[in-house]
Amino acid sequence: MTDRLDFFSRRCAWVNGPIIVGAGPSGLAVAACLKEHGVPSVILERADCIASLWQKRTYDRLKLHLPKQFCQLPKFPFPEHYPEYPTKKQFVDYLESYAKHFEISPRFNQSVQSARYDETCGLWRVRTVGAGAEAGRWLVVATGENAEKVVPELEGLGGFGGDVIHACDYKSGEAYRGKRVLVIGCGNSGMELCLDLCDHDAFPAMVVRDSVHVLPREVLGKSTFELAVLLMKWLPLWLVDKILLWLAWLLLGNVEKHGLRRPSTGPLELKNTQGRTPVLDLGALAKIRSGDIKVVPGIKRFSSGSVELVDGQALDIDSVILATGYRSNVPQWLQVPTKILHCFSLTVESEDNMGD
């Protein structure tokens, strides 16, 4: 009863339309489409800007991994002068322009603490940290799959003594020039960070614990993703997977001899069933072949200035970068998951699933 009465307390503001949590690409797109149909909405964003993942937790060299036509938001195409694969800055500028065009004004610094649906009242109550609550009939979760970084427990890491960061805090390889860097994770982020480290004269070693699909970003000048979408219109998924793997073998060769084992499940099926995104090669594979990027197996334990691997070899290292991915934070605050429309990110990220 207390909870129901609280709906009408002074600190509970009524929202005449959907409450949207998250001001990333999905949240902006939902708000714009609702506005086009005359439906008002409120966006609650925990950061102080739109698309905070892109603005604050991505590396400098990041570009969209898919052609721009597959990443643009509804009713507002990318500028014609943008390249096929826009840069991080261009994508952020595009999102800022999108919000301005549709006159979308999120409420910033509004971190959602809980969202509860009261079936008796037929209303959602969304509490934010230190800012009271909102009440309304509809809730849209647009926080994406990459809200929180994943930091695994690794034996001895506390006594390593060197620099340890997550990929979300990595900006450029300039700070690692001349250093031996262990990158844990072989998704799109891990691969591209290793490539960036090479470009800045660092010496990366990449931990590959699991199997991974590596595909060329383009096939004969056409995006591999675009080709897959085209083939899926006419062919079953399993056959498209076989075609993609044949093309990957033709263009990239046998990657398994370089320590990159392919999963038994095809890349599209794996994405559909387990959410694991294939790696689109941007040049890291050539660095692996040349030995500039060293591929190593799983980690056994860390010690001061070094790491012992599961195959018994030991590496002296200066720094560690955790390209270990992200997870949704929705289970932490959403209390009635069956009553919700969940919008996932419209951009691509790494296996880590961020988009990269």
5 φ/ψ angles, rounded to the nearest 5 degrees = -65, -30
Helical (H) or strand (E) element with 146: none
Q: Which residue has the higher pLDDT, 9 or 313?
A: 313
pLDDT at 175 over 90: yes
Helical (H) or strand (E) element with 164: strand 163-166
Q: Count CB neighbours of 288 within 10 A.
A: 24
* End-to-end C-alpha distance for the chain, whole angstroms: 46
pLDDT (0 to 100) of residue 132: 78
- How big is the CA angle at 52 (ends 47 and 53), to the nearest 5 degrees? 130
The H-assigned helical ranges of 81-125 are: 88-101
In angstroms, rounded to a whole number, what is the distance separating the alpha carbons of residues 72 and 86? 11
For the chain, give the number of residues.
Answer: 356
Q: Are strands 139-141 and 326-327 parallel, antiparallel or unpaired?
A: unpaired
Return the beta strands (E) in 169-273 as ranges.
Answer: 180-184, 203-207, 214-216, 218-219, 222-223
Could you give the percent of the chain with pLDDT greater than 70? 91
pLDDT (0 to 100) of residue 30: 97
Placement of tokens 């698309």 in the chain: 51
pLDDT (0 to 100) of residue 2: 47
pLDDT (0 to 100) of residue 336: 67
pLDDT at 337 over 80: no
In angstroms, rounded to a whole number, what is the distance separating the alpha carbons of residues 127 and 175? 40
Question: What token pair was written down for 226?
Answer: 């675009």
Q: Among candidates 195, 186, 202, which has minimal Cα distance to 319?
A: 202
C-beta separation of 165 from 57 below 8 A: no
SS (H, E, C) 322-336: ECCCEECCHHHHECC
pLDDT at 355 over 50: no
Q: Quick one: pLDDT band at residue 159, thresholds 50, 70, 90?
A: very high
- Residues linked to residue 280 through DSSP beta bridges, in sequence order: 215
The H-assigned helical ranges of 224-265 are: 224-232, 237-252
pTM: 0.87
Q: How far is CA 45 from CA 11, 31, 107, 224, in A?
A: 18, 13, 6, 34
Q: Among candidates 86, 135, 93, 98, which has minimal Cα distance to 114?
A: 135
User: What confidence tens digit (pLDDT) does each residue in 285-314 have?
Assistant: 999 999 999 999 999 999 999 999 999 999
User: What confidence tens digit (pLDDT) does each residue in 71-113 have?
Assistant: 999 999 999 999 999 999 999 999 999 999 999 999 999 999 9
Q: Quick one: pLDDT band at residue 316, thresholds 50, 70, 90?
A: very high
- Residues linked to residue 207 through DSSP beta bridges, in sequence order: 184, 296
Q: Count CB neighbours of 346 within 10 A.
A: 19
Q: Quick one: pLDDT band at residue 350, thresholds 50, 70, 90?
A: very low
Sign of CA dihedral 306, 351, 223, 74: negative
pLDDT (0 to 100) of residue 335: 84
pLDDT (0 to 100) of residue 118: 86
